[in-house]
Amino acid sequence: MNDREIGNFTNYMYPFVQDNGNIRPRNPFEINNLHTNDKNIFDSPDKFGQMTKETDSSIIEVTSDYFNNQFAIFSKLREDGHFCDFVIKCANISFSVHRIVICGLSEFFKAMLTNNMVSNCNTNSISLSYICPETMEAIINFAYTGKIKISERNVEDVASAASYLQIPILLDHCVNYMTRRIKYTNAVKIYKFIKSIRGDTDRGSMRYIEKHFLQLSRTTDFLQLDYDEFYEILKSDHLLVDSELQVLEVILSWISYDIPNRLQYISKLYKTIRLGLVSIEMINDKFKIHPIIPGALKKFLSVEEANNIFEMFRKAEHQFMDYANRNRHCQDVSPIIYAIGEINKDRNNISGVGSVIECYDKDSDKWFRNDSTILQRKLFAVVYDGNSIIVLGGNDGSNKLKSVSKYDRFTLDWKTLPSMLSRRSALSAATINGVIYAIGGYDGSSFLNSMEFFNPQTLKWHQGPSMTMQRSGAAVAVYQDLIIVIGGRCGQTVHNSIEIFCTRRFQWKFLTNALQVPRFGHTATIFNKQIFIFGGNNGNETLKSCECFFIDHERSYEFPSLQYPRANASSHLVNNSLYVFGGYNDERKLGSTEIFSFKTNQWNFGPFLRFIEGSVQSVIINTNTSQIFIKDNA
């Protein structure tokens, strides 16, 4: 047989040869014979004349492009109706497919076609009437191309079909799609849906419910959870709550939604409360004031019943005692800043004095408004008592105030607390062990050195010992049982002194010349026994200078200056960075945020406040319950 030229190609590169005038497929071994006669191409002596032994081998692995090309061919064959050997019927639509392809996609089809497990399957077809044709077509295309378009419109249908047909890779994609779009209005629905199609709890939707537990517990979707779903959520170690009493509130609300059918579960649900973290008296007090508990429920949840359950925990195995005393710790929770400050009047079309609440969420790195309420006051003080944000004093544009308001960040309601003994504007305030302290300020005629404190048990204000100096516009920091009041002014005199109140000894300590620069209207934040002091005013100009006061040494040192001078700003430590925001300077009111990084030792700008511009006070919630609730009209 002679090689012949066919066009520009030789015969050995062409799959057919001419043999005695006939065309036949080439024998692949003929190629070897053309080159090497009867020897392997590698069977040659080495330089010493010895034949080498086979000591080297490798696996040739084709790229994914190879398989993509193969499946593109399969897809084209299916479109043209070539070699299809199976039919899937949905409603009145039939889809011709290749068995080998759908077996590779789905365990359902693999088991059915290799074992003939499905009764409504004959040799050549199957009817799947419960899957809509549009969904089935998308899944078949996915089998051939590896691509599928998922949207909010079709994700539930595709996920349900992927679950039934046992296509885990497609089901996982659908679950990820849903959890990436989870929000307050659909969280419970997504949790229930994923649990129903996959048979286990999805961590993504569960984490969202844990983090927003209290807000979601007020929704109809949550109240309609069945017992098993509700119980699974309650027993989580990661619920975001301030107190186990809040878990009790949720239990009572869920039972009250359907008392005839749910009262039977009270004992089991009651055991999900970490009883070692609350007293029986506190629980009983909650029963007395709860507005929706009917008589039957009160009787069932008597003090005796509570004691019996607690005694059961006490006598049970050690693991149950650990559970009863174990704190819940929500995962992936960043601190939340609640700022209350002057509203930007130009942007919000209001006149007169007005302050609003704005929140900073570290996860999204954004400020946003969560409550539409406008407070008719400014130059007030704020503290956080572990449950509520307390606003004290200030002025309404005409009068200095002694009124006190409480903002519940869970219910988003404002309530009035007993007024202070004195009117105070530009005051300082702090809270230790639930007791609120109001210090200094200006009452409209005099600068104050007095201090008063509020007892949350008696709901009364009491006069405390006075400071050495009269101080208005002083900054304040809390360290253990110490309240540290920094700078401030009395008339035209601006202080560089510090006074420290020990709540245990109930007395003041005076530190003269403790600051490098006299200042008022400044802000301060504590970190690692150091108080960082930012901006303010020295009586002549607004400052951008900063300093750091060491509590142990009782001395202050220079700290890198802000980029903008600012007074009446606010500051906090957020994830080991210092945040300073709001305030004003000699030129304008400010809505900017500056962030100091200890890694770079530099200030950089952060997100702008959206509604607040000017004087601002704030609290940071670093506890296990850092979550933001939002009014619909905010």
Low-confidence ranges of the chain (pLDDT < 70): 1-71, 75, 116-123, 275-327, 329-333, 345-353, 371-372, 622-634
Domain 212-332, classified CATH 3.40.50.720, yes or no: no
* 205 and 174 Cβ atoms separated by less than 8 Å: no
Mean pLDDT of the chain: 81
* 596 and 578 Cβ atoms separated by less than 8 Å: yes
H-helix segments, 235-317: 244-257, 259-262, 266-270, 280-289, 295-300, 303-315
CATH 1.25.40.420 in the chain is located at 212-332
| Residue-level length of the chain | 634
**Among 3.40.50.720, 3.40.50.620, 1.20.200.10, 3.30.710.10, what is the CATH number of 64-148?**
3.30.710.10
Q: Is 231 helix (H, G, I), strand (E, B) or coil?
A: helix
Tell me, yes or no, if the pTM score tops 0.95.
no
pLDDT, position 105: 84
Pairing of strands 447-455, 460-464: antiparallel
CATH 3.30.710.10 in the chain is located at 64-148
pLDDT, position 302: 52
pLDDT, position 21: 62
| Separation of CA 41 from chain center | 65
Number of Cβ within 10 Å of residue 325's Cβ equals 12
| Residue 606 backbone dihedrals phi, psi, to 5 degrees | -115, -165
Give the C-alpha separation, 217 to 211, whole Å: 11
pLDDT, position 271: 80
